Structures are given as structure tokens and as C-alpha cells.
């Protein structure tokens, strides 16, 4: 229906370019000759091991507004040589309206339908990190697409989210409301859904996006290996 399929192809070139800028696997450092060849070999084999493990499956970032899905997602994509998509940005591109205007003009229910359609389109790509809107987990139909990839829940305390979102004017659900109690009630409604993700990354106040990406990259192998074991035992 939309145009994301085309984006998958168009972003391929870009993806190849960012691969060598990866810093978790220390490629950036290799260009400064700071690593010995043994270390370069080690980093390269880590990188390819990760590619072998992931086999191109998509990574979906879920979590509340303000958890940094976009910032972390972009960095993670860069580290993995993956494409990056943000469902909110795609919705805005398709509708030519900012999210708060969409909510005001057609209402949340219609927004959710567009969001689901966009999710279907991006989920059809491979090798992509996808930052989703905080409410994407509300629809069971959406889960059938999320489940094709690795789902990472970025979790943060309501205190931290309140501090981050105090001056935000872009999120319609947080307008004209007591921020802390609204975040508490949204998290209360959604927590049991977020916990259905494959990995939970808890965000502390002083965590940088780089630290979070490193933590994600460290946790991915054990998660994939354990799910491979489960599916092997099921067969």
C-alpha cells in the first residue's frame, strides 16, 4: 500500500557504507592503527559471528515514549550494518502530517491502523532495525509481525521518562495531562505487553546510547542461542 518496500532497496547502498563505521566492533579504531592485526581479526570475527547469528532478521525496538528507541536504534543499525526505520517518521512521511496533527484530525484509532500498515511494510524488509511507536504493542495483529524479528524492550522508570519528556510538545497522548500520572497509567496498561519482548534493556539515568547499544549487542547472542535450543527441542 505504501512505499516502504522501495525504501528497503534504496537503503541497501547506505547500509554497506555504514558497516565500516561500526565502533562496537572497533572498525573505527582500526583506521587509526590503534589495534593490532590479532585484535582486528578478533573484532572482525565477532562482527561476522553476529551476522551469522542474526541471519538478517529484523530487530524491533519497543518501549514507552522517551526511552530513546530512535537514537539507540540508529546507532544499533550502524553497528550491525543494518538499515534503520522509525515507524513514526514513516507515518509522518506517508500522511504528510506530524503525529499530533494526525491524532487531532483522524483520531487515535485511525492512527493505529496506519501504524499497523506501516509495520507490515517494514517487517517485510530484512536486515533492519525498526524503532516502533510506544503503542505498537497494543494490537495483537502487530505482534504477528514483530514476532518475525528479535524484539527488544527499552525499559525506563517513570521518573526518568518524566524528566525526559517534561518539555515535549510532540506526543499527543501526553498533552494537557499530568505527565507522571499519565506515564504511570500508560505503563501500567502496557507493561505486560512490553514484557513479551525477547530482551529487556533497562535504562539508567546515566546510560549513554552507546552504552545501551553495547549492552544490546552483548545480550543478543545468548538470546538467539537459547531460542535456537528451544526450537530444536520442539522439533
Q: Applying CB under 6 A, which residues contact ligand S3P?
A: 65, 69, 88, 99, 133-135, 171-173
Q: Is residue 100 a contact partner of residue 77, using CB atoms and an 8 Å limit?
A: no
Grid coordinates representing 79 are 553497528
Measured from the CB of residue 88, what is the shortest distance to ligand S3P in angstroms?
Answer: 5
Measured from the CB of residue 115, what is the shortest distance to ligand S3P in angstroms?
Answer: 7
Residue number with CB closer to ligand S3P (88 or 155):
88
From start to end of the chain, where are the E strands? Answer: 59-62, 83-86, 128-131, 150-156, 199-203
Measured from the CB of residue 3, what is the shortest distance to ligand S3P in angstroms?
Answer: 19
Rounded distance, CA 102 to CA 80, Å?
33
Residue number with CB closer to ligand S3P (88 or 198):
88
Q: Round the CA-based radius of gyration of the chain to a whole number and report it.
A: 18
β-sheet bridge partners, residue 131? 61, 86
Grid coordinates representing 201 are 534493556
Residue number with CB closer to ligand S3P (172 or 209):
172
Measured from the CB of residue 30, what is the shortest distance to ligand S3P in angstroms?
Answer: 34
Residue number with CB closer to ligand S3P (21 or 170):
170
Amino acid at each position: 500500500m505504501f512505499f516502504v518496500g522501495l525504501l528497503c532497496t534504496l537503503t541497501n547502498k547506505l547500509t554497506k557504507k555504514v558497516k565500516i563505521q561500526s565502533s562496537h566492533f572497533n572498525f573505527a579504531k582500526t583506521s587509526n592503527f590503534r589495534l593490532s592485526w590479532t585484535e582486528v581479526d578478533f573484532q572482525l570475527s565477532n562482527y561476522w559471528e553476529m551476522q551469522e547469528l542474526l541471519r538478517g532478521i529484523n530487530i524491533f525496538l519497543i518501549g514507552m515514549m522517551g526511552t530513546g528507541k530512535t537514537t539507540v536504534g540508529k546507532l544499533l543499525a550502524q553497528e550491525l550494518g543494518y538499515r534503520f526505520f522509525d515507524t513514526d517518521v514513516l507515518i509522518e512521511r506517508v500522511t504528510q502530517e506530524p503525529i499530533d496533527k494526525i491524532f487531532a484530525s483522524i483520531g487515535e484509532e485511525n492512527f493505529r491502523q496506519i501504524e499497523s500498515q506501516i509495520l507490515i511494510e517494514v517487517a517485510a524488509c530484512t536486515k533492519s532495525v525498526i524503532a516502533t511507536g510506544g503503542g505498537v504493542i497494543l494490537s495483537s495483529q502487530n505482534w504477528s509481525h514483530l514476532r518475525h524479528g528479535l524484539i527488544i524492550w527499552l525499559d525506563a522508570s517513570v521518573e526518568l521518562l518524566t524528566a525526559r519528556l517534561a518539555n515535549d510538545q510532540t506526543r499527543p497522548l501526553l498533552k494537557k495531562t499530568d505527565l507522571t500520572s499519565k506515564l504511570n497509567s500508560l505503563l501500567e496498561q502496557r507493561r505486560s505487553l512490553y514484557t513479551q519482548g525477547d530482551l529487556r534493556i533497562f535504562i539508567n539515568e546515566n546510560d549513554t546510547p552507546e552504552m545501551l547499544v553495547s549492552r544490546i549487542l552483548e545480550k543478543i547472542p545468548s538470546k538467539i542461542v537459547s531460542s535456537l535450543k528451544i526450537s530444536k527441542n520442539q522439533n
